[in-house]
Structure 1
Amino acid sequence: MKEFLLLLKKGNKSALLAAIVNTIIAILKGIGFALTGSVALFAEMMHSAADTANQLFVFTGSALSKKSPTDRFPNGFGRLVNLVLLGAVLIVGIMAYETIVEGIHHIIKPTHPSGFIISLVILGISVLLESFVLYKAMKEISHELGINSSGFGVVTQAISNLGKAKPATRLVFLEDAVATLGGLLAMIAVIVAHYSPFHEAEGIASVIIGILMFIVVGKVFLDNAAGVIGEADEEMEIKIGEMVMNDPDVKDIQALTVLKEGEDLHVELEIELDPNLTVAEADDIKDRLEEKIMNEKGVTDVIIELDEDDGIQNWSEEKNEPELVEKK
């Protein structure tokens, strides 16, 4: 139990904050729906409830993925966060389906909801809270990547570097971006339904919100399915490859793989050295490279194999990428 509590302290802070805020939002929207019968509020209540459950899964999964390797699982638990996220999207998918079904039902049989002011106030508060969590997620992306940004730069940096963010932070960003957009859409629908005879507006908003939720499900599923299978980090491969080839004692790189293990990076490298070097000299080169690679952000494990120089260049410096040239 003590180990579990210690692991929770290492969980993704953005996911925990988002779960707490979305719990409050879901309760507010639930109360609002009970008082007004607004379909737009129902859709947003389902959305917030799904986000809450999802982000609790994310927080727990990101924490457990930090567990140290064991004899049974010597490669560690890095990919556990990807597995948890795959399970979490099922919850969002189910609630997205229910949201769409309720929206279609309201389009077919539209009703005039009461409590216009209540609906608008609750949705307004929700949008503000969702925007706050979204901004915190953006800040977390910059923090994870070591980028100094402020003001609107936080937004642009987060969007441009979203693919490099940790899986948990990326999910929080996507969910809260859709939640903020969904909240604004629901507010518009409530206003249209109140001031015009077009009462189907809330049903249409509900369907659109459900579709947006499905888009997040698809994106998160594809990202984390790749993580479970084992996805290479090509950008880090290029960076480490350049670093290794700049070492004066390295003649060539035979193979280089940077594998994503959840939020961590596992590096496997095979280099060629001068065959005239002594074992001690080769070992010093290996230790030096291991230290440099381990200093790269996110790298937790490095395996380096040594071989003698065969005189054939495998690493393509011209294209600046790890391209293996076919040996004759």
Structure 2
Amino acid sequence: MRESFKLLKLGSKSALWAAIVNTVVALIKTAAYLITGNVAMFAEMMHSFGDAANQLFVFIGSALSKKAPTDRFPAGFGRLVNLVLLGAVLVVGVLAYETIVEGIHHISNATHSDDWFWLNIGVLGAAAALEATVLYKAMQEITEHLPREKVKGLKIIPESYKHVRDAKPATKLVFLEDNVAVGGAVLALLAIIISTYTPFHSATGYASIIIGILLLLVVGRVFLDNAAGALGVADVKMQAKIGSKVFAHPQVNDIQDLDVIKEGDSLHVELTLEVDPKMTIEQADDIKDDIEKKIKESVANVTDVVIEFDEDDGINTWDKIKNVKE
């Protein structure tokens, strides 16, 4: 039990915060929907429940993925977060489908009603504000490695979108879902205003369908990213960065092979280096320790570095490998 609590402390903070906030928002929207029966509110309610469940799974998965390797699982649990996310997107997919179906049903049975207008507006406005705080938290996690002056004030917004591809899986999911959450709340607000003050009474139905489609797009993006992560995807940028650093070592003549595999939030590095064949085992071991230390100091989340040595064949292999990997 003590180990479980320690692991939970290592889980994604943005996912935990998002799960708490979205649970509160979902309960508020549920109360509003039961009072008003508004279909746009129904779409937002389903969306928030989906986000809350998803992000709770993500938090638990990101924490368990930090568990140390065991005899039964010597490679560790890094890919567990990807597997959890693959399961989580199924929940969002089902809720997206229900949201679209409810929107279609409302379009065919649209009626005018200005009852509970200000209640709907107030709930959705508060929801948008709360979900915006979660989105900002995810932006902070995405850009935490950048210089402070680059993310000062509103600069954090474009920088977070620019670097979201490099974010941790859990943070990326929270970021994508809360983009839809904030956008969906604003869209639902506009739809309620339009359906109340214009003859276009089916606006909330169309808003529900659009929100459902946006959720499906998130499902597709997250599924593709985490299916690759579960299989063990190569991190090409890190391969180039680590290769350049290793190749600069004075006793490394060439890099015969280099793989950087992303497993959840962690990186697994495998290297085959060409060195002087006259080198002693002690010298090779010193080089290995030195390279491993430099890699772990310069690159975050590297869990292990596997280095093999081969004699120098006099052929420059690294330039060819680098061009292929790039």
User: How would you bin the TM-score normalised by the shorter chain?
Assistant: over 0.9
Q: Report the CA distance between 1:157 and its aligned residue.
A: 1.2
Residue identity opposite 2:127 in structure 1: S
Q: 1:285 & 1:67 partners in 2: Cα distance?
A: 29
Can you list the C-alpha shifts for 1:165-207, whole angstroms capped at 9, x where unaligned? 0000000000000110000000000000110121100000000
- Residue of structure 1 in register with 2:301 after alignment: 298
Residue identity opposite 1:120 in structure 2: I
Can you list the C-alpha shifts for 1:86-122, whole angstroms capped at 9, x where unaligned? 0000000000000000000000111234200000000
Matched-pair contact (CA < 8 Å) for 1:237–1:322 = no
Where 1:307 maps in the other structure, the secondary structure is strand
- Residue of structure 1 in register with 2:94 after alignment: 94
Q: Report the CA distance between 1:147 and its aligned residue.
A: 4.1
Can you list the C-alpha shifts for 1:119-172, whole angstroms capped at 9, x where unaligned? 0000000111111110111011112x3442211111111100000000000000
- Residue of structure 1 in register with 2:60 after alignment: 60
Equivalent positions of 1:136-285 (< 5 A) are: 136-143=137-144, 145-148=145-148, 149-285=151-287
Structure 2: give runs of 5+ residues left out of the alignment: none
Residue identity opposite 1:13 in structure 2: K
Where 2:77 maps in the other structure, the secondary structure is coil
Q: Report the CA distance between 1:323 and its aligned residue.
A: 3.9
- Residue of structure 2 in register with 1:73 after alignment: 73
Q: Report the CA distance between 1:5 and its aligned residue.
A: 1.4
Residue identity opposite 1:131 in structure 2: A
Residue identity opposite 1:163 in structure 2: R
Q: 2:267 & 2:147 partners in 1: Cα distance?
A: 19
Q: 1:47 & 1:111 partners in 2: Cα distance?
A: 23
- Residue of structure 2 in register with 1:20 after alignment: 20
Where 1:250 maps in the other structure, the secondary structure is coil
Give the stretch that moved more between structures: 275-284 or 305-314: 275-284
Q: Number of residue pairs matched?
A: 321
Matched-pair contact (CA < 8 Å) for 1:315–1:323 = no
Where 2:48 maps in the other structure, the secondary structure is helix
With over 3 angstroms needed to count, the CA separation of the structure-2 counterparts of 1:323 and 1:204, relative to structure 1, is: closer
Q: TM-score, normalised by structure 1?
A: 0.96
Q: TM-score, normalised by structure 2?
A: 0.96
Q: 2:6 & 2:288 partners in 1: Cα distance?
A: 34
Q: Report the CA distance between 1:280 and its aligned residue.
A: 1.6
Can you list the C-alpha shifts for 1:253-311, whole angstroms capped at 9, x where unaligned? 01100001100000000100011222222221111101111212111110000111011
Where 1:257 maps in the other structure, the secondary structure is strand
Return the structure number with greater helix share: 2
Question: Which residue of 289, 313, 318 corresponds with 1:310?
Answer: 313
Structure 1: give runs of 5+ residues left out of the alignment: none
With over 3 angstroms needed to count, the CA separation of the structure-2 counterparts of 1:194 and 1:115, relative to structure 1, is: same
Where 1:77 maps in the other structure, the secondary structure is coil
Identity of aligned residues (%): 58
Q: 2:3 & 2:245 partners in 1: Cα distance?
A: 37
- Residue of structure 1 in register with 2:135 after alignment: 134
